[in-house]
Amino acid sequence: MPSNKSVSDAPIVQFTNCRILRSHQLQREDLWVREGKILNPEKLFFDEKGSADIQLDCKDSIIAPGFIDVQINGGFGVDFSLATDDFKSGIDLVSQKILSHGVTSFCPTLVTSPPSVYHQILPQISIRNGGAHGAGVLAGAHLEGPFISKEKKGAHPEHCLRTFEEGAFQDLLATYGSLDRVRIVTLAPEMKRSSEVIGELTKQGICVSLGHSVANLSQAEEAVQHGATFITHLFNAMLPFHHRDPGIVGLLTSDKIPSGRRVFYGMISDGIHTNPAALRIAHRAHPKGLVLVTDAIAGMGLAPGRHTLGQQVVEIDGLNTYIAGNVTLFPGTKTLSGSVATMDTCVRHFQEATGCSVETALEAASLHPAQLLGIEHKKGTLNYDSDADFLMLNDSLYVQATYIAGEEVWRQEVLGM
């Protein structure tokens, strides 16, 4: 067969003996990769008369798009909301460690903080592709707060919460300092002047998410009509579902969503934040909008004990995370404060709790977050010409290897080999 060199000097890698997640189905076919992109084998064979330079036997693994985590506060001892002049080293550590959990791209998330923290940290966030150094930083940060409800602040420090004054959008700019490295902003839509802020953020290409809120359904619908497209950790830190006014949860089946618009919603599928029945209700009501998030904090990957979440100290007990001292201050209550679950754990729990297909579980952590961010043409799928960020998994959805731009960046060690 003629050489491939007439088109490109880059080697062509053929992944064989695998089941590829493509077009919402696991398909038994090979995966072809060149120069970090997924190739169309028909074009390769018939237009280029090309062939593979390297063949890799996947031993009947599932090949799925790399996971995308749009809400991760830190991990492995790193807290993205702690002001430091060496933010890069923390990002580097987390991005390297999450490769073993199948995450190939993420949005570092900052919880409610004083303006000085945003001003110090945001300029240090570099939007970058993933690679051997770690998962890519997707389009920018997720800023969760401080424009949220005091009643539903959760683990966010009350003294740092803010409202929109007459300046509205200018208030937000003054708080954050800049939006250059921001991709998602979580706010409470019931706040005065929130609609104009949502509209302005949307114009600038920033995803607006509704969360930590006491909004009723009509307020949530108005926010969506002004451009909001996401719900931050559905069910958590919002009014509970009520049959006469379902609140933000009602967006999942609302008939007031603008034509052509899809509302996505994040869920922390760790077995702690959301009862399996609630996961099933949400998934069955609006399956194409479900986005799995970890909401992971600095304690992810570490032993139980005390860790930080921005301005707060949190206590980790197994998979439970609470504001430290909360039980003493408010007897009988415990405020959940993020998660220590990894993304692959969330995918497995979601699949088990809902009984959904393997394909559906994998897409909730890959395709759907990519669609939310408007990058599904290059991330979150294994379509031809998309970025070759993918995972090899076994039938129980445990990650065996992680690839970014077609290069292996992590592999599970096999004992005795």
CA 329 to chain centre: 33
Question: Residues 320-325: what's their mean pLDDT?
Answer: 70
> What's 66-373's CATH class?
alpha beta
| Model pTM score | 0.94
For residue 307, say whether it is annotated as part of any ligand binding site.
no
pLDDT tens-digit profile of 138-175? 889 999 999 999 999 988 999 999 999 989 999 999 99
13-64+381-411 and 66-373 share one fold? no
Q: Letter for the amino acid at 92?
A: D
Residue 240: pLDDT band with limits 50, 70, 90: very high
Domain ranges for the chain? 13-64+381-411, 66-373
The catalytic residues are 295
| 262 annotated to a ligand binding site | no
CATH number for 13-64+381-411: choose from 2.30.40.10, 2.40.50.140, 1.10.760.10, 3.40.190.10: 2.30.40.10
Q: Is residue 101 a known part of a binding site?
A: no
Which runs of E-coded beta strand occur in 235-304? 264-267, 290-292
- Whether residue 338 is annotated as binding a ligand: the answer is yes
Locate 28 and state its tokens. Answer: 């038994």
- Higher local confidence (pLDDT), 9 or 5: 9
DSSP states of 128-173:
B--BTTB-EE-SSEEEE-SSS-STT-TTS-GGG-----TTTHHHHH
* Rounded CA separation 4/1 (Å): 9
Of 70, 80, 39, 102, which is closest to residue 310 (Cα–Cα)?
80
> Is 37:8 a contact under the CB 8 Å cutoff?
no
- Which positions ≥6 away from 296 have C-beta within 8 Å? 69, 72, 73, 74, 75, 338, 339, 340, 341, 342
* Two tokens, residue 193: 């002047």
